[in-house]
Amino acid sequence: MVIHRGTQILARRGVGAEPGIDPRRADADEEFGRIRQQGVIEVADYSAVRSSFRRMANHEFVGLMGDPTASAREPWVRVRWINIGGMNWDVIKAVFIKHDLHPLALENVLRVHARARSKADYYPRHLFLRVLCHELGEEDGVEADSNPTFDPSLLKPPLSDVVGAEKTLPGSVGSTLPTFRAMAAGINLEEQRRIQDAALHALKRGERVNVNVSPMFIFMSRDGTVISIHETPTLEMTKPIMSRLRQFDSGLRASADSSMLVQSLLSLIADKALEVVDAYKDKITKFERKVMLRPTIGTVRNLHILSEDLILHRRTLAPIKSVVYALRRYDVDRTAVLDISAAGTKADVYDQMEYVLTQLDLIAGIGQNLITSYEMNEIMRRLMIVTVIFLPLTLLTGYFGMNFTEMWSVHGNSHILYWEIALPIMVILVPLFVAPDIRRVVRYVEKRAMTRRVVESFRSL
């Protein structure tokens, strides 16, 4: 069934297919109609002197977009902000048809991978921005030196993964067809990916920074309409921007400029990234203190995980800096869509992203230095173990190997006394200095057993 479905999708979306997604076509409803996430939508109309705010559910917003009279803007409205929380095909279809958004932009919303790089596209009627948001999540880790455990709930995909699976490029063979090994085991590719992700997540559980990375889609039209779409089915992230709009004396409200609203959204994303950087600073300081006082293999493992996360975050945050720079240069050179008065404020966002990337590099450098320091300590410890083991034996061998005619401690050329001294020394010293290696072997066995439990729990679901 999976192979047949993949073949049908490949036949429908093969090489040379029409680019973009037309929401008016019936095949678009067939392909994306399964995206039914319950969300909330806020519509804010404002100018320097008046404002109007409406909050509605999915079906209410679809009805609003389908009613030309109800959705018409009043003459005093300078900027309309449609803030959509959650991915729902009916909502996206209604807003795209109402505001005549470009089909290629819709394809970037629905088909591009969830962690694709940030970008900015200029279309004849609007500007399209795709920016990855980095938000701190709840801490779900355990202490680094505790025994690892497995939570079967990790095998249940979150709603974002389900939506992301609907947005995966259907024309990709790897997104639909299983591998031969997975077919032989009776597991399709999606289940195999979930097994690997759950096992890796269980192995990485520790003192790490939980960061949620999800894209925000921003559309800005020439008539002052700004549309923002975020996968989170709540609007908590954009709550500070909405609060500023409700204050009549705020700069965002007084400007009544759609480009300032877009700049505020970009600045909010940069502020969220700064919170992530601060959390990583706290973690690296904690790990540094542990390495200096009492280094353990658990601390080094967390440092490796932290360095890996920093590399991934830098690769997703660096394009945001390029997007902001491109927007500023486009305003200065052409002034085609955005207002040139917002160039100075976007420079602040650019400086924020520059600071974020610099701090990520700094934290990653500190982590690598701590790992190198621990490895050097391990080398010196192993050399010390060899010295501790063989130095007493060498001393005893030299003592009993002296060519004395008579030795008070040895009778009849017997070697029993040598072993009576050497064996107790070895029994005490060897376990004392090899204890960290014994704990490391035990932890490795526990992790292998935990990985097997992940696979068995998945197959039993």
pLDDT in tens, 128-164: 999 999 998 875 443 433 334 434 443 344 433 433 3
Mean predicted confidence (pLDDT) in 250-270: 91
What tens digit of pLDDT does each residue of 18-69 get? Answer: 778 889 888 888 889 888 888 899 999 999 999 999 999 999 999 999 999 9
The residue length of the chain stands at: 461
For residue 402, the number of C-alpha atoms closer than 13 Å in the C-beta half-sphere is 12
- Indicate the pLDDT class of residue 364, thresholds 50, 70 and 90: confident
- Indicate the pLDDT class of residue 2, thresholds 50, 70 and 90: very low
The pLDDT value recorded for residue 91 is: 94
Residue type, position 414, single letter: S
- Asked if residues 307 and 168 have their Cβ atoms less than 8 Å apart, the reply is no
Cα–Cα dist 186/391, whole Å: 58
- pLDDT exceeds cutoff 60 at 224: yes
Q: Which of 182, 197, 238, 250 lies closest to 214 in space, CA to CA?
A: 238
- Indicate the pLDDT class of residue 451, thresholds 50, 70 and 90: confident
CATH code for the part of the protein at 2-374 = 3.30.460.20
What tens digit of pLDDT does each residue of 320-352 get? Answer: 988 888 887 766 544 444 443 444 555 678 888
Cα–Cα dist 278/378, whole Å: 30
Cα–Cα dist 88/59, whole Å: 10
- Helix, strand, or coil here: 442? helix
Contacts of 257 (CB under 8 A, 6+ apart): 78, 79, 339, 341, 342
The pLDDT value recorded for residue 379 is: 78
Give the helix/strand (H/E) hosting 412: none
Cα–Cα dist 128/150, whole Å: 42
The pLDDT value recorded for residue 144 is: 38
- Tell me the backbone φ, ψ of residue 449, rounded to 5 degrees: -65, -35
The pLDDT value recorded for residue 265 is: 93
- Average pLDDT score over the chain: 76
Contacts of 66 (CB under 8 A, 6+ apart): 94
Give the sheet arrangement for strand 119-122, strand by strand. Answer: 51-56, 40-46, 79-85, 225-230, 211-221, 126-136, 119-122
- Indicate the pLDDT class of residue 395, thresholds 50, 70 and 90: confident
The pLDDT value recorded for residue 171 is: 31
Domain ranges of the chain: 2-374
- Indicate the pLDDT class of residue 15, thresholds 50, 70 and 90: low
Mean predicted confidence (pLDDT) in 232-238: 88
Cα–Cα dist 111/26, whole Å: 17
pTM of the model: 0.70
Q: What separation in angstroms does the CA of 186 have from each of 131, 177, 459?
A: 38, 13, 10
